[in-house]
Amino acid sequence: MYCGHIEENLMGVISRTADLFYAFRFLKLLVTPWNKMGAYEQGIIDENGKNLKKAKELTTPAEKEVYTVFHRLVFNLKRLLNKVPFGKSKLASYAAALFLIKENSELTEEEIREVLEEILDDLDESLDESVFFIKDEVINPGKYILTSEMASNKTGEIIAFPGQEVVVTFHSKPISYIFNTGIYEVTHLLTNQKLYISSGDIKK
C-alpha cells in the first residue's frame, strides 16, 4: 500500500489549487506509517494504529493537535484499508468512513477519489445488488447486526463494533450518497447514538 513513489506525488496531487489543503493532509495521513504519526509520538496510538487514549482523555495542546476529529476519521479509514488485500478495492465496503471524512472536511468526492487512486491499485465503484433487505434504495425497519466497526458521527471515535445491534425505525431512504453508494442513518442500541452506515456494514 505504501509505495515509495507516493511521497514524490504528494504535491502533484494538490498543485492545482490552494484550497486542496485537506487533500494533502488526507493523503499524507494515509501513507505515513503509524509509528511516524504525531499521535504515536504522543502515546495516543500504538505502532499498529490501535487507540491507547480516547479524545476526552487528551489534556495537552500537543495531544489535541495530532488527534483532531479529522485525524480520527482518517485513522479509521486507514485501519480499514490496511485490511484490504492488494488489488481491487470495493469502495462500497468503506463508504460510511469516506462519507464522514467528506462531511468533516472541505474535501470533494472527486478529491477523495484522486487520493484513493494514489494508494490503491484498482477502485471498484460497483454497487452491492444482493442485499435483500433494501429495495428501491429503501431499507426496511428492524434490527440489524453490524459487520464493521463504526465511528461516532460527532466525535469520529469508534463506538460500535461487529456483532452489535443497530435499529432502523422507519422505512428509510439514504440521507446522502458517496460514490453512488447510499448512506443511511441508524441508531446504535448500546449507546443510543446515531450512526451512518451503508448496506455493506450490516446484516440481518
Tens digits of residue pLDDT in 145-168 = 999 899 999 999 999 999 999 999
Pairing of strands 88-90, 122-124: parallel
Structural domains present in the chain: 5-124 (no CATH), 134-203 (2.30.30.40)
Segment holding 123, helix H or strand E: strand 122-124
Global model pTM greater than 0.75: yes
Predicted local distance difference test score (pLDDT) of residue 128: 58
pLDDT at 21 over 90: no
Instruction: Calculate the alpha carbon distances from 108 to 53, 77, 88, 126, 193 in Å.
Output: 30, 16, 22, 20, 26
Tell me which long-range contacts 40-46 makes (C-beta under 8 A, separation of at least 24). Answer: 41/66, 42/66, 42/67, 45/75
Q: Give residue 200's pLDDT.
A: 85
d(CA 47, CA 130): 37
Average pLDDT over residues 158-187: 93
Q: How do residues 73-129 score in pLDDT, each as one tens digit?
A: 999 999 988 876 544 456 767 899 999 999 998 888 888 888 888 877 766 666 555
Q: Which of 192, 191, 196 is nearest to 73 (CA)?
A: 196
pLDDT band at 192 (very low <50, low <70, confident <90, very high): very high
Taking all residues of the chain, what is their mean pLDDT, rounded to a whole number? 84
How much is the pLDDT for 14?
47
